[in-house]
Amino acid sequence: MKKTGCKTAFIVDFLIISLALFSCRSDKKENTTETGNFVQISRENPSYFQLSDGTPYIPVGINLISPSGKYRNNPDSSLYDFGQWMKKLSSNGGNYIRVWLSSPFWDIEDQKAGLYSEEKAGRIDTLIKMAERYNLRIKMTLEHFRSLTEEENPQPWAVKSVYHTSNGGPLDSIRQYISSQEGQKLFIDKAGFYSSRYGSRAVFFGWELWNEMNAMKGPEDSLFFMWNERMLKEVKKSFPDNLVMQSLGSFDTDGVRSLYRKMTLLPDNEVAQVHRYLDPGAPLDLCQMPMDIICSSAVEDIISYNPGKPVILAETGAVESRHSGPSRFYSVDTAGILLHDILFAPFFSGSAGAGMSWHWDSYVDKNNLWYHFGRFSEAVKNIDPVKEKFIVSKHEAEGLRIYRLSGRKTVLLWLRDKSNTWETELRDHQPPRIISGIRLDNGLTGLSSPAEKIEIYDPWKNIWSDAEAGESGIALPGFRRSIVIRIVR
């Protein structure tokens, strides 16, 4: 395989140096990716993560799968572009990204089965250096393909053609890849390559076996789960200090409920993940509801299985019917109401972190919405979910959906205007109303005794204000769309 030349190596080194020189707030934060501070599941409260030194870790991030292809023939420019997204995320409080190692830009096995490209591996080296620079944890997704030929699957992005016999590969079907020793060895050997090159490192949030593996055609459920049970164990052997997990396709039909339950409850699947989108063509009516309900209901479903592990809405966003493209509403969502709900609704419904959006380039970056990650981070700053042991509840009053996390010392409430949705604001172009004169009843806050301190955060203005609870409740300032209340007992 062609190796990175001196010129490319120099440019990559210059890239790292340039990104370091021009980094902003993220460089001032304590960098925990370079100190052996691993992401772990809390033993005290396994619904949440913490770092190995006990520091709380609330994942705040995005699916940042690969460069956009704008510089298709210039990997150095693509890496620089990718680094700029990472910088913007980090400078706005982000601490997590997800990358598909199997996407064409990173795929080390791009010419022949079992042969790994040093040039592509060098790109991954640069990715890791940038993540460490910006204090971002990476969820490394190992594979995503759904077939070995386009005849089996007309989606070129989901085909692994180098494995097929017609291209000199050892396999004739995706089922053979899953069921045969030769096919399984391809997966194990690639994980072993990454293990020998990187090992378990604090920069890795964890290792995900596959993107939406149930979307492949062929393997029956018994074979599918037999493979997953084995590979979860195998990848954990390769990365004993990192989390290992698996993902399934969008939870957009009742037909996948049993599959989700079984995958969630696999003992070696360390993180319970769910994908769900705003999709006008989805069979499940929930997928056409307001965005906060789409997100919160997905988390609530997985929590209802009592998984005893953290739950993450790992992929979400808005699409045209049946994922035929990014949503038409992205172009008018310049305020980022969809992203706001994606970030806030899961955590306030019991997730271990913010929701993770797709469409990082065509929506988030295009509309310059990175500041929303900072607004979520601001709303939950200095919160330790492990110690709080939050009890989750949801209520409706005063035209609001009230999401409540009641902890040992802190009560967090996220209030969402029911009359403001993607339909009213993005489809019908109705501006959000000003909500004023509301006094939130003390019963809805969960307060049974006077509070030590009450603060109100407006995430649309990035303003904190103090409040007091009178006999008739907490008087709220005027706001649009949503507001956060933090009560210290």
**pLDDT digit string (tens) for the chain, length 489 residues:** 433 433 444 444 444 435 443 443 334 456 776 668 999 999 999 999 999 999 999 999 999 999 988 888 899 999 999 999 999 999 999 999 999 999 999 999 999 999 999 999 999 999 999 999 999 999 999 999 999 998 887 789 999 999 999 999 999 999 999 999 999 999 999 999 999 999 999 999 999 999 999 999 878 889 999 999 999 999 999 999 999 999 999 999 999 999 999 999 999 999 999 999 999 999 999 999 999 999 999 999 999 999 999 999 999 999 999 999 999 999 999 999 999 999 999 999 999 999 999 999 999 999 999 999 999 999 999 999 999 999 999 999 999 999 999 999 999 999 999 999 999 999 999 999 999 999 999 889 987 778 899 999 999 999 999 999 888 899 999 999 999 999 998
Domains of the chain from N-terminus onward: 6-384 (3.20.20.80), 393-488 (2.60.40.1180)
CA-closest candidate to residue 403, choices 309, 310, 340: 340
Contact 124, 145 (CB under 8 A): no
Alpha helices in 198-284 (DSSP H): 221-238, 257-264
Residue 460 is classified by DSSP as T
Q: H or E element: which one contains 278? A: strand 272-278
> 380 with 347: CB under 8 angstroms?
yes
CB 64 within 8 A of CB 97: yes
Q: Is the dihedral of CA 227, 249, 42, 202 positive or negative?
A: positive
Instruction: Considering only CA atoms, give the Rg of the chain.
Output: 23
- Rounded Cα distance between 137 and 204, Å, is 5
Residue with tokens 């378990």: 200
- Closest to 482 measured CA to CA, from 274, 316, 288, 290: 290
Q: Bridge partners of 147?
A: 159
Q: What is the pTM of this model?
A: 0.94
| Cβ neighbour number for residue 331 with a 10 Å cutoff | 13
Distances in Å between the Cα of 214 and the Cα atoms of 209, 247, 288 are 12, 8, 23
Which residues are CB-neighbours of 237 under 8 A, at least 6 positions away?
A: none
Report d(CA 459, CA 60) in Å as an integer: 15
Residues in the chain: 489
> What is the rounded distance in angstroms from the CA atom of residue 263 to the CA atom of residue 209?
12
Rounded distance, CA 187 to CA 165, Å? 17
Residues 6+ apart with CB under 8 A from 146: 153, 155, 158, 159, 174, 215, 216, 217
* d(C-alpha 132, C-alpha 157), whole Å: 29
Cα 263 to Cα 244: distance, rounded to the nearest angstrom? 13
Strand partners, 51: 39
Helix (H) or strand (E) holding 338: helix 337-347
